[in-house]
Structure 1
Amino acid sequence: MPRWPMMAGLRSRVVVSIVVFVGWLIFLLLFAGFWAQDFSFIQSIIIILVSALVGIAILGAMWASWGMRFLR
């Protein structure tokens, strides 16, 4: 049992959060540099918004499971 119960699993969630954010930025750069010219402006915005929503869903599910452990 960790010394501080709230710290259990925190490190891995922070690492995954950083990896998801950096991965999303890399995706945006690659998309803008190589694939965006194949899509219209509206389609490009939709792709960026959907990719952001996927990242938010991943992070939200991960952090919600951690936060629900401490409900009283």
Structure 2
Amino acid sequence: MEAIWFILVGLAAGWLAGRLIAGGGSNVIGYIIIGVFGSVLGGVLFDVLGLSTGSGIFGKLIVATVGAITFLLLLHVIKKP
């Protein structure tokens, strides 16, 4: 059941990040991938910075969205010629 929530939060975070970052649009699978990578990256960033959003679903969504936005920004930097 936890894996389903992880995928759903990843989907929502990927979709939000895709809407907030120009050129971040994708399909459902792309949003899930962006969101899942973002969840991991956001978790690491929040841990390193000593930040906490709580343990609820909205806290997880915030961490995943921040991580997905960071992931998309890194991809934009890497892809620039």
TM > 0.5 between the two?
Answer: no
Higher helix proportion, which one?
A: 1
Q: Which has the larger radius of gyration?
A: 1
More relative contact order in 1 or in 2 (CA 8 Å, sep 6+)?
Answer: 1
TM-score with structure 2 length normalisation?
0.31
